[in-house]
Structure 1
Amino acid sequence: MGEGEMINMREGEILEQTRSLAAPFVFFIVFVFQFATKRLQDLKRGASKTDKEMQLRGEIKQLLKEAASYSQPSTFAQAAKLRRMAAAKEKELANYQAHLTQEVKQSYDLYLKVLFVAKVFIHIVLVFWFWSSPVASVSQHLLQPFGRLLSLKIWGSSSNYVQVGIIPWLVLCSRVCKFACRIA
C-alpha cells in the first residue's frame, strides 16, 4: 500500500467523520434557535407580573374585603366609599398593565426579530456549507417510504444507503424541534 493510498484513506475517514457529525450539529443549531424563540415568546406572555401589580391587586382585594364586612344599613356609605376606592385602584391597575404590556411587547418583539434574522442567516450559511455534500448517510430500509424525499438525485445513493441533503434535513429538524419545544 503506497503513501498516496494511505493519505486518500485518511482523507476519506476524515470526510466520513465530518459527515457523521454534520447531522447532529445541524440539529443542535436548529434546536437552539427554536428553543430560544419559544422561550422569548413564553417570557413575552408571562412578563407582566411585577411588584407594583401585585401590590395593587392586594390593595384591591383588601378594600373589597373590608367593603363586604360592612353589611349594616348604617355602614352602607362607608362600604360604597371602599368599593369606589377599589374601582379606582382597578382602573389604575388596568392602565399600568396596558403601559407595561406595551413596553414588554416592544422589547420582546425586537429580540424576536433579531433572533429571526440570525436564524435565517445561519440557515443560509448551513445550506451553502453543505450544498455539495450530503449531511448524513442513512440506511435505505430505515427511510423506506421517505428515502427519495430526503435525498437529491445529484448525489445518487449507494446500494444500501440514502444520502440526506441539507434542505430536507433542515426542514425535518425544524419540525422535530418545534414539536419538542411545544411538549417541553
Structure 2
Amino acid sequence: MEETLVERGKSSAAPIIFILVAAFHFLSRYIELNKKKKGSMNATNVQLRAEIKQLLKEASTLSQPSTFAQAAKLRRMAAAKEKELVKNQEMQKTDVKSSYDTQEKIIKISNIFVYVVLIIWFWRMPVATISEELVQPFGKMLSWRAGGALKDHVMVGIIPWLIVSARVNRFICRKVLK
C-alpha cells in the first residue's frame, strides 16, 4: 500500500494538466486582448483625426461675421472627414473581428478536444494524491471517479482537477493579462 502511494506521488500528471489548461487560458486571453487593441488604432485613422482636429481649430479661429461662410465650410469638411473616419473604423473592426474569430474558434475546439481526451485517459484513475487533512470537507468531491482513499490520502479525479485548474487559471489570466 505504501509503495503505490509513493508511485502515485511521483506522478506528474496533475502539474502537466494544470500547465496545459493554463496555456489554453493564456492563449485565448492574449487573442482577446489583441482583438481589442488592433481594432482601435490605424495610421489612416490617426491621420484623419489629426485633420479633423486641425479643421475644427481653424474653424474656431474664424469667428467674425465676415468669415462665417469660410468657418461653415471648414466645419462641413470636418464632418465629412468624421464620417469617413467612422466608415474606416467599421471596416477595420469587421476585418479584425473576422480574423480573430477563426482563431478563437480553433482554440475553443482544441480546448474541448484536449479536455475530452484527458477525461477519457484519466477516467477512474487518480490524477494526484493529497493529504486528507488538507481537503477535509471536500475530500469526497475531489476524489469523484478516481477511486477510494489511500491511508489518510485522497485521490483527486480528473474532472474535479480540470474544474479547479480552469478556475485558478482564469483568475490568474485576468490578474496577469489586463
Whether these two folds match at TM > 0.5 is yes
Structure 2 match to 1:41: 32
Q: Deviations over 1:134-176 (max 9, x none)?
A: 1110111111221111102661002311100011100111111
Q: Deviations over 1:75-104 (max 9, x none)?
A: 111111111010000000001111111111
CA distance in structure 2 between the aligned counterparts of 1:154 and 1:172, rounded to whole angstroms: 15
| Corresponding residue SS for 2:133 | helix
CA distance in structure 1 between the aligned counterparts of 2:137 and 2:62, rounded to whole angstroms: 74
Counterpart pick for 2:157 among 146, 160, 165: 165
Structure 1 match to 2:81: 89
Structure 2 match to 1:29: 20
Length-normalised TM-score, structure 1: 0.88
Within 5 A, what are the aligned runs for 1:14-163?
A: 16-17=9-10, 19=11, 21-48=12-39, 49-152=41-144, 155-163=147-155
**Would you say how many aligned residue pairs link Structure 1 and Structure 2?**
173
Query: What is the aligned-residue RMSD (CA, Å)?
Result: 1.7
* Deviation for aligned residue 1:41: 1.2
Length-normalised TM-score, structure 2: 0.91
CA distance in structure 2 between the aligned counterparts of 1:155 and 1:16, rounded to whole angstroms: 15
- The one-letter code matched in structure 1 to 2:116 is I
Contact 2:132 2:154 in 1 (8 A): yes
* Deviation for aligned residue 1:132: 3.4
CA distance in structure 2 between the aligned counterparts of 1:14 and 1:152, rounded to whole angstroms: 20
Q: Deviations over 1:90-132 (max 9, x none)?
A: 0000011111111111111110000001101111111122223
Unaligned stretches of 5+ in structure 1?
1-8
* Deviation for aligned residue 1:61: 0.8
**Percent identical residues:** 47
- The one-letter code matched in structure 2 to 1:160 is D
Q: Which moved more, 1:50-59 or 1:129-138?
A: 129-138
Unaligned stretches of 5+ in structure 2?
none
